[in-house]
Chains A and B, each alone.
Chain A
């Protein structure tokens, strides 16, 4: 087979750009916790004279904080750039993952339920996630970081197309 063989469609719809800020914030929080919690213990250890374990723990705190800080800059825009979705007449296609990439394909007739949800972080940013549930949990794509209104419309459209079959 040559390069002219059939290719899968690249889904066209991006997530909301506000998702980048949301994820970056979550990473910064995780980085801060990774720095502060072992850091505090390290300070207590050092003050109580346990030099070696204190220094090791301080090192861990610095590494966790630094990795989190780097990831908060590097990961969200790349993850956002790769995450795409599209609703076609026959089904839904979702592309995700930055390093470990996935392209998930689900025919409408196999979707059993559509969940939309928004956690406290997402609600504050006006975002929501849509989860397309099939009879297989692994084969149930998730579309996070959508504008809340877009998510509602998307869930309604997909639920309408999914039909009433038992979808197995």
Chain B
């Protein structure tokens, strides 16, 4: 297929971005040198050398970088010292993502990433540091139009939004994400290492001591303090979600899905529909109580890992009520999903063992060591884990029809509706403990970085029935017919 030829180079301001990268890398080193006893004149000379070499190199890097789409292939030529020429067949392109970091937005530029299939190759993703908005749209259309065979159909540049998120909904998404559990820990760790870097540890310790002196000592005061900290953490998580997903929109046209989001940097992710391997609804106990859930889609060969989109997965809806979730799910996987077949009760004991064994094994030691409250804490953890284990067992289920449906998890429960043709391989596995209870697990491997999904603790017969339903040629009878009756 020839035709659709576009070619171009990065926006001239890309040279400035390259230059900024040099400054960002060299700047801290020079600053660090300034406070040591290296002569300042030497450092100024070094800074001048960085500028004298760095500026022409940045311009040269911009000059050398060219891309073109021709004959069904994307060509990229780049490199100053090491010249690289990359050719990507457009059939291997999984999607194009366009982001607008803050600096880019000021100049109306876009950073484009072309997601190409190359299992396990980090260079499988191809990045164009800065191009203009119209260039980016032209590149995306040229790359994805060839990927989609219906090239004659007019591609709607921007289909109307299919789902949008209000700030209030986003705040709820953040507050119920469970992320707030990690926010204070991450903030504390970050602050500690920062203080360590600057030699401020003593100061930090003194101020911590001052805080401790002023900390409330009465039970009521402690409860108020803990509650205030919890509210602050949930608030931070809500704020983070509002900033990262500001004005989230999902757009759908017949060939692709696109999401746009972000307050400071706008991120736009476009995925070819045929690369979606299914759709997943994720929720948590809190979200279940509120009747809301989020929707993701596993995608092969998609390495976008900017916040929110884990590698191999694209978020289609940060949070929605049952009706919105059903609408997004139906957009990717139309039709009534197959019913969920529950897993045998024999698996419950395994869930309970996994949940409580560790805390109960650890519990006796603190009692022996004269720290009984640590021991009681371990027992309390075991008691808290018990209902979670029950819920984890209750949520297990699977079904096969025109989709493969798999559900598991409690604190983050995931219901996956997969295209039965998506998996590249299947594994039936059983540990000695599972075999003793007549159980087995089935893992479907999606490939190209989309990971795998495990159907946990099925009955042995269910496991065999599941794989033989998905791949009928693996049935024993189909290969070696049983002796004819009579």
**Which residues does chain A contribute within 8 Å of B427, judged by CB atoms?**
102-105, 138-139
A90 to B303, CA, bound (A): 31
Most buried by A among B117, B120, B430: B430
A47 interface residue, CB < 8 Å from B? no
A168 to B431, CA, bound (A): 30
Chain A interface residue count, CB cutoff 8 Å, equals: 37
A99 and B431 contacting across the interface, CB-CB below 8 Å:
yes
**Provided the pairs A1-B462, A7-B475 are in contact, do residues A166 and B92 lie with their beta carbons within 8 angstroms?**
yes
Q: Which of A7, A9, A139 contacts B426 (CB 8 A)?
A: A139
**Which residues does chain A contribute within 8 Å of B468, judged by CB atoms?**
6-8
A93 to B426, CA, bound (A): 10
Contact with A along B417-435 (1 / 0, CB 8 A): 0000001111111111001
- Binding-face segment, B263-271, B325-333, B365-373, B444-452: B444-452
A168 and B117 contacting across the interface, CB-CB below 8 Å:
yes
A101 to B475, CA, bound (A): 19
Which B residue's beta carbon lies closest to that of A134? B424
B465 and A1 contacting across the interface, CB-CB below 8 Å:
yes
A89 and B473 contacting across the interface, CB-CB below 8 Å:
yes
**Could you tell me the distance in whole angstroms from the C-beta of B454 to the nearest C-beta in chain A?**
10
B473 and A91 contacting across the interface, CB-CB below 8 Å:
yes
**Could you tell me the distance in whole angstroms from the C-beta of A127 to the nearest C-beta in chain B?**
24
**Could you tell me the distance in whole angstroms from the C-beta of A133 to the nearest C-beta in chain B?**
8
Interface residue tally of chain B, by bracket?
35 or more
Q: Which of A5, A101, A168 contacts B447 (CB 8 A)?
A: A168
CB within 8 Å of A: which B96-127 residues: 117, 119-120
B467 interface residue, CB < 8 Å from A? yes
A72 to B466, CA, bound (A): 36
Q: Which of A100, A101, A138, A167 contacts B445 (CB 8 A)?
A: A138
B426 and A6 contacting across the interface, CB-CB below 8 Å:
no
A9 and B479 contacting across the interface, CB-CB below 8 Å:
yes
A5 and B425 contacting across the interface, CB-CB below 8 Å:
no
Q: Is the interface of B mostly helix, strand, loop or mixed?
A: mixed
CB within 8 Å of B: which A62-99 residues: 88-91, 93, 97, 99
A-B contact count (CB 8 A): 126
Contact with A along B445-485 (1 / 0, CB 8 A): 11110001000000101101101110101111101100000
CB within 8 Å of B: which A120-142 residues: 134-141
**Which residues does chain A contribute within 8 Å of B120, judged by CB atoms?**
137
Which B residue's beta carbon lies closest to that of A133? B119
**Which residues does chain B contribute within 8 Å of A107, judged by CB atoms?**
471, 473
**Provided the pairs A7-B475, A9-B475, A91-B471 are in contact, do residues A168 and B461 lie with their beta carbons within 8 angstroms?**
no
A168 to B443, CA, bound (A): 17
B91 interface residue, CB < 8 Å from A? yes
A163 to B316, CA, bound (A): 34
Which B residue's beta carbon lies closest to that of A135? B447
Which A residue's beta carbon lies closest to that of B468? A6
Which B residue's beta carbon lies closest to that of A90? B473
B375 interface residue, CB < 8 Å from A? no
**Which residues does chain A contribute within 8 Å of B473, judged by CB atoms?**
88-91, 107
Q: Which of B424, B428, B448, B461 contacts A3 (CB 8 A)?
A: B461
**Could you tell me the distance in whole angstroms from the C-beta of A83 to the nearest C-beta in chain B?**
15
A8 and B467 contacting across the interface, CB-CB below 8 Å:
yes
B476 and A8 contacting across the interface, CB-CB below 8 Å:
yes
A110 interface residue, CB < 8 Å from B? yes
Show 14 residue pairs from A and B whose CB-CB distance is below 8 angstroms, ordered by the A residue: A1-B459, A6-B464, A7-B464, A9-B479, A97-B429, A100-B432, A110-B424, A134-B424, A134-B445, A135-B300, A135-B448, A136-B446, A138-B425, A166-B92
Top 3 nearest A-B pairs (CB, nearest first) are: A139-B425, A139-B445, A135-B447
